[in-house]
Structure formats: structure tokens, C-alpha cells
């Protein structure tokens, strides 16, 4: 499933073959298209397209290049469009100091008007920013917490990207990210967590590398996505799923297909989500607020049975590994964990358990010996080198018992599980080197997980 979050299918370039263009998009898996207005006229046409095609939605706005010519009547007409059904965003708006077709002051005034309109209708904004990052950020900052959105066809620096991200914005890259000489864009992309990335064509402009110079169209996302997958070290399917979920959430598109997943794939590993119970409430955990991992929805109160898990696993032989890891602590269901791990080992799978290391407290007995022969790798969340800090970070229901039990669990795991790793989340203030030293002293592997990057 793919979502093109920025297209201009109403432009004259598509007047002779729009049905073919839309069919080609469907054929490669483009599920939704957001058609973006750049004037009152193209906003009206965007809405007409949205009414004609179920899977097209509209954004209404006036491009900053036209800012100096916008009349009061234009603005009233745009305001009237904003409240219509199938309008999912305001824009494209923003600032363009590259083309210099409208005075900066007019552009800024119009940008503010769009932000007010977005706030009034509780819609995201689609922002065009060309060589105007500083002023653009200043305006976005003024509406921080009130207006969200996307910086479309990103062309700024890595530092600009970081600042927009800090303000909660998504970032989308069009075809130029595939151009051989666009190292600056790929450098900026490194600052963008994949969960904040959106796909767009900006068609008919900016076709990706194999079609460069030709008219762009939504089906050409098939050329951009593999490049993004390579840059993020994920699969094409991962990129499609993650960006689609983000687009659906940002633009409020239909979410009727959102089902909690008990077995989910990232790269070539299968993950099992066997419970949402956990004795901790870690400050960095989005279990209760946004239970998504790399585009998979894991929120569930229903714990799957062994049979349901086996059905969801299917044939495990093609995966690099099968991992017990969800928004919950798998040792809360030790019997199920052991039965499924045994089932997987009989079928030759490599099995990993990601755990908070509190399994002994949870089960009221030492459990590492019970995992022998069932788990190949165990990754235990250490989170900090300081006992008091652990409780501040993890808010464990076991309070001061938790950290000593965790250390004891790591030590015991070495005797029963071939590959033991401890991990921390690289949050500000955590002494990474002191944690690494604990791993070295215990003779186990060490991993720093990226803060705000789940999965």
C-alpha cells in the first residue's frame, strides 16, 4: 500500500489520460492520492477530483508565488472550500524566496492566513519551503502545538529538517532524492526518522531518476521507494507500510483496516506480540499513547492463544529470526512463550527474546533455566547504570526490587542462553560508556537503541 501525499492531477498535463494515470497508480499499489491545490481554481479542481474518485482526497490552498495577487474574494472562496468533506489538508502554502514572484511580506501574510485556517478546521498544512527556512520555521513555531503538517518536497539542510521535526512536522521527499548528485537531500534524510517520512510525487513535476525529465505521475513512486528502502536499510514493504500509516494518521484517512497484529514482519524478521501487559511504564514507551512499531499497529487488550499465534506465524522457515517483542513483556506469559519458542525451534528457527529482564519477579521464580534450548538470543533492557535512575525511567511496579533483579537476571541468562545482549535507549543524560562497561564486565554484548526509534 502506497500513499502519494502530493499530486497535481488537475494540471493540464493530465487532461488527456487521467484515467490511465490513475489506473497505473492503482496497479502498482497506490491506495490513496492527495491532490493539492495551488490556487482557488486548482483547489476547486482538486475537490472535484476527490468527489469523482473514492481514493483521491483534496488539499486546498494558494501557492506563495501567487501571494501578492490574492484578493479578499479569493480568500473567502478558499475558506469556503476548507470546510468541505474530503478536504484533508490546507496548502500548499509556505514561502518561496527562490522564485521571487511575490513580495516576502505578502507571502508571510498569506502563510499566516493558511495556518489560521488549518487551526480553525483542525487540519494539517502542506508547506512549500524554498530557500526560506528561517522565516518558515519562525511562522511554524508560532503555531507549534496547534497546527501540524508536512514540509513537502524537502529541499533544506539536515539542520532545517531537525528543527521541523522538533516542531512535530513530517517531511516528504519527491523524485530528486533519487538523483545521483542529490547527496545534500540524502544527508538531510538521515535526520528524518522513517516514522516521520511521507511519500510524494509532486507530479507532474520532479520525476524520479529513471523517468527524469518526463512527466511525473503517482505510479512512479515505484522508482523512489526502493531508493528510500536502501537509505533506511528497510524493505520496500516496510517503507510502504510505515509511510502509509503515517499519512493516514496525519491526514485522517480511512483507518477501517487498522487491526492489531500479533505477528508482524520488519525487514526479514518475524516479530510476535503476545501480550500488552508489562510491570513497567517506561518514559520512552509509546505503548499507551501510540502503539505502533514501524507501521504495524500493536494495540490490543486481547492476548492471542497458542493456536492463534501458530496460525499467525505460518511457515517460519523463511525468516532470519523470530522475535518475541511487542508493546508488552513476553515473560508475563511464560507458558505461551515457552510453547511457541519450542514450536519454532522444532522448525529450525532462530529465536530471540526482547525482555525487560524482570521475568523472575513476574513469575516468582528463576526462569532462565526454563528458557534453555528455546531462546538463542536474549536482549535485555538495562536502560541505565544507576539503580535510582532506573525507577525514574521505568516506573516499575516492583520499585526498588526491579534493578537488582534485572542485574541478577542478566548474570543468570549467561548460563542458559548462548547469546546475551543488554541494551539502553540513547536518551539525553544516560551514561552510555558506563553502561557499556557493565556489559563488558558481564561479558555480554551491548547495544544502544535510538531514542524515538522503535523497531
Residue 43 to residue 62: CA distance in whole angstroms: 8
Task: Name which of 218 and 328 has its Cβ closer to ligand SF4.
Answer: 328
Is the backbone of residue 268 left (phi > 0), alpha (psi -120 to 50) or beta? alpha
Q: Does 243 bind ligand SF4 (CB under 6 A)?
A: no
Closer residue to ligand SF4 (CB): 138 or 387? 387
386 near ligand SF4 (CB under 6 A): no
Per-residue burial over 9-44, b if 16 or more Cβ lie within 10 Å, else e, is bbbebbeeebeebbebbeeebbbbbbbbbbbbebbb
323 binds ligand SF4 (CB under 6 A): no
Pair 203, 12: CB distance under 8 Å: no
Grid coordinates in use for 56?
483521491
Q: Is 278 in the site for ligand SF4 (CB under 6 A)?
A: yes
- Residues 21-50: x where in contact with ligand SF4 by CB under 6 A, - otherwise, as a string: ------------------------------
104 burial level (CB within 10 Å; 0-12, 13-18, 19+): middle
Contact between 162 and 141 under an 8 Å Cβ cutoff? The reply is no
The only residue of 282, 306, 405, 438 in contact with ligand SF4, by rule CB under 6 A? 282
Which of 232/390 has CB closer to ligand SF4? 390
**φ, ψ of residue 249 in degrees (nearest 5):** -65, -45
Instruction: With contacts defined by CB under 6 A, name the span among 43-51, 84-92, 212-220, 324-332 that binds ligand SF4.
Output: 324-332
The reply to whether 329 sits near ligand SF4 by the rule CB under 6 A is yes
Closest to ligand SF4 by CB, 224 vs 331, is 331
Residue 383, CB half-sphere, CA atoms under 13 Å: how many? 24
Residue 328 DSSP code = B
The grid cell for 4 is 502519494
Q: Is 328 in the site for ligand SF4 (CB under 6 A)?
A: yes
Among 26, 121, 287, 345, binds ligand SF4 (CB under 6 A): 287
Judged by beta carbon, residue 202 or residue 354, the one nearer ligand SF4 is 354
* Residue 281 contacts ligand SF4 per CB under 6 A: yes
Least distance CB 402 / ligand SF4 (angstroms): 10
In sequence order, the 6+-apart residues with CB closer than 8 A to the CB of 323 are 269, 270, 271, 272, 351, 352, 353, 354
Q: Which range of residues in 18-26, 110-118, 274-282, 365-373 is near ligand SF4 by CB under 6 A?
A: 274-282
Q: Which stretch binds ligand SF4 (CB under 6 A): 175-183, 215-223, 257-265, 325-333?
A: 325-333
Q: Which parts of this chain interact with ligand SF4 (CB under 6 A)?
A: 278, 280-282, 285, 287, 327-329, 356, 381, 394
Amino acid at each position: 500500500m502506497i500513499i502519494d501525499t502530493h499530486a497535481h492531477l488537475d494540471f493540464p498535463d493530465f487532461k488527456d489520460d487521467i484515467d490511465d494515470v490513475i489506473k497505473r497508480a492503482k496497479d502498482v499499489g497506490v491506495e490513496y492520492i492527495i491532490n493539492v491545490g495551488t490556487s482557488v481554481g486548482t483547489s476547486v479542481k482538486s475537490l472535484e477530483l476527490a468527489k469523482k474518485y473514492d481514493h483521491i482526497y483534496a488539499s486546498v490552498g494558494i501557492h506563495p508565488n501567487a501571494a501578492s495577487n490574492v484578493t479578499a474574494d479569493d480568500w473567502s472562496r478558499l475558506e469556503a472550500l476548507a470546510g468541505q468533506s474530503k478536504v484533508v489538508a490546507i496548502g500548499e502554502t509556505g514561502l518561496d524566496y527562490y522564485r521571487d514572484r511575490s513580495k516576502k511580506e505578502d507571502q508571510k501574510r498569506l502563510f499566516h492566513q493558511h495556518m489560521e485556517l488549518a487551526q480553525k478546521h483542525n487540519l494539517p498544512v502542506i508547506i512549500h519551503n524554498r530557500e526560506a527556512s528561517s522565516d518558515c520555521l519562525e511562522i511554524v513555531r508560532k503555531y507549534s502545538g496547534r497546527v501540524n503538517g508536512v514540509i513537502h518536497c524537502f529541499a533544506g539542510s539536515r539542520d532545517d529538517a531537525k528543527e521541523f521535526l522538533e516542531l512535530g512536522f513530517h517531511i516528504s521527499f519527491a523524485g530528486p532524492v533519487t538523483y545521483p548528485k542529490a547527496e545534500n537531500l540524502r544527508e538531510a534524510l538521515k535526520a528524518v526518522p522513517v516514522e516521520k517520512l511521507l511519500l510524494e510525487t509532486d507530479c507532474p513535476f520532479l520525476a524520479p531518476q529513471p523517468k527524469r525529465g518526463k512527466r511525473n505521475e503517482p505510479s512512479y513512486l515505484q522508482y523512489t521507494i526502493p531508493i528510500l528502502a536502501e537509505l533506511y536499510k528497510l524493505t520496500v514493504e516496510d517503507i510502504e507500510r510505515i509511510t502509509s500509516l503515517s499519512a493516514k494518521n496525519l491526514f485522517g484517512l480511512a483507518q477501517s483496516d487498522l487491526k492489531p497484529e500479533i505477528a508482524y514482519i520488519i525487514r526479514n524478521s518475524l516479530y510476535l506480540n503476545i501480550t500488552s501487559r508489562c510491570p513497567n511504564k517506561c518514559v520512552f514507551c509509546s505503548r499507551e499513547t501510540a502503539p505502533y512499531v514501524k507501521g504495524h499497529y500493536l494495540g490490543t487488550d486481547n492476548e492471542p492463544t497458542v493456536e492463534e499465534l501458530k496460525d499467525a506465524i505460518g511457515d517460519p522457515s523463511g525468516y532470519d529470526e523470530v522475535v518475541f517483542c511487542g508493546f508488552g513483556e513476553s515473560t508475563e506469559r511464560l507458558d505461551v512463550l515457552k510453547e511457541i519458542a519450542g514450536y519454532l525451534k522444532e522448525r529450525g528457527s532462530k529465536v530471540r527474546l526482547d525482555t525487560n529482564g524482570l521475568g523472575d519477579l513476574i513469575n516468582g521464580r528463576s526462569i532462565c533455566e526454563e528458557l534453555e534450548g528455546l531462546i538463542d538470543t536474549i536482549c535485555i533492557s538495562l536502560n541505565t547504570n544507576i539503580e535510582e535512575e532506573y525507577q525514574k525511567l521505568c516506573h516499575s511496579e516492583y520499585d526498588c526490587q526491579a534493578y537488582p533483579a534485572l542485574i541478577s537476571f542478566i548474570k543468570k541468562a549467561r548460563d542458559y542462553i548462548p547469546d546475551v545482549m543488554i541494551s539502553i535507549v540513547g536518551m539525553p543524560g544516560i551514561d552510555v560508556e558506563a553502561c557499556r562497561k557493565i556489559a563488558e564486565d558481564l561479558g555480554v554484548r551491548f547495544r544502544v537503541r535510538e531514542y524515538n526509534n522503535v523497531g
